[in-house]
């Protein structure tokens, strides 16, 4: 089984809808991240969490919120989706004592 899983893998939604993307990990890592990937822009950090009680904004947090329900789960919400939030979203984990990040397979989101 994959160490970092994301659900759903693909999602189509309409402008104004609230949606949630979920990330779960079995690696036991304390740190978790949410990124979005747009063609030609690389990865942009949305939010990150260093433990269950620690949530931090990244460079593009406007329009997004997160919840760290447990060490293994980190959810990303779009309160009112808009078309320019159409992108590929990745969750990543990291052991705080190490430097390598481990990425999920991504969620492809289309906002109509």
What is the contact surface with another protein in residues (CB under 8 A)? 4, 33, 40-43, 45, 48, 50, 56, 58, 90, 92, 99-106
d(CA 12, CA 100): 31
In the complex with another protein, the residue whose CB is nearer, 19 or 48, is: 48
- Write down the least CB distance from residue 86 to another protein, Å: 18
CA distances from 57 to 4, 11, 47, 61, 77 (A): 21, 24, 5, 6, 13
Least separation in angstroms between residue 78's CB and another protein is: 20
Smallest gap, in angstroms, from Cβ of residue 95 to another protein?
Answer: 13
């Amino acid at each position: 089984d994959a160490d970092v899983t994301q659900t759903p893998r693909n999602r189509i939604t309409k402008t104004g809808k609230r949606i949630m993307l979920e990330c779960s990990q079995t690696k036991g890592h304390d740190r978790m991240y949410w990124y979005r990937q747009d063609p030609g822009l690389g990865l942009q950090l949305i939010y990150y969490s260093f433990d269950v009680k620690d949530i931090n904004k990244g460079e593009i947090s406007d329009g997004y919120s997160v919840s760290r329900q447990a060490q293994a789960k980190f959810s990303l919400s779009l309160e009112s989706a808009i078309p320019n939030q159409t992108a590929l979203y990745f969750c990543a984990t990291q052991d705080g004592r190490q430097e390598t990040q481990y990425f999920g397979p991504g969620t492809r989101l289309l906002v109509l």
